[in-house]
Amino acid sequence: MKGVKIDGTPSAEELHASPGFPQESIRKGPLAFIECVEEIPCNPCATACPRGAITLEGGLTALPRLDAELCTGCGLCISVCPGLAIYVKAREHEPGFSSILFPYEYYPLPQKGDPVECVNRFGKSICSGTVLSVRTAEKLDRTALIKVSFPQAYFDEVISIKRLPNQ
């Protein structure tokens, strides 16, 4: 039993039972969080990780397992995931503030320094944040990587930002 799904979003029970989701992130620095809870034949995350921090024990349909000790939070696994299921969070980017590096496939892109609304995994705005960086590169295959800082009190909830309006 993997827990109960709510509106197609992984439940807290599913995530905490998942081998790719760090159980207790006490690390201040960046760490990958893998929200992949469906046993599908897929493994780009494992092949992209230069540290061997992601493994699929038991074959291609196994859930990805993260070795938090090996993960440096480089973010190379984020853009290769077709399910946009990976992000990197740092609990203490600076005193009182956390950061998240996440995939973003909408236009317009935010710009460095922009104020943004941070959302939880249900798409609900929960706090304000500030864009720290916007990475776009050919090798990212049109998946931009956005890094945002936000108040540390929302560390467990923030997973993305509210989509920006068309201009």
Q: Which 8-state DSSP code applies to residue 13?
A: H
Q: What tokens appear for 48 in the block?
A: 């992209």
Positions touching ligand SF4 (CB under 6 A) are 32, 34, 36, 42-45, 48-49, 51, 53-54, 64, 71-77, 81-83, 85-86, 88
CB-CB neighbours of 30 under 10 Å: 19
CB of 57 to ligand SF4, least distance (A): 12
Q: Which 8-state DSSP code applies to residue 140?
A: G
CB-CB neighbours of 69 under 10 Å: 8
Among residues 71 and 116, whose Cβ is nearest to ligand SF4? 71
Among residues 51 and 112, whose Cβ is nearest to ligand SF4? 51
Among residues 111 and 142, whose Cβ is nearest to ligand SF4? 142
Q: What tokens appear for 74 in the block?
A: 């480089």
CB of 27 to ligand SF4, least distance (A): 12
CB of 167 to ligand SF4, least distance (A): 31
Contact at 8 Å (CB) between 66 and 56? no
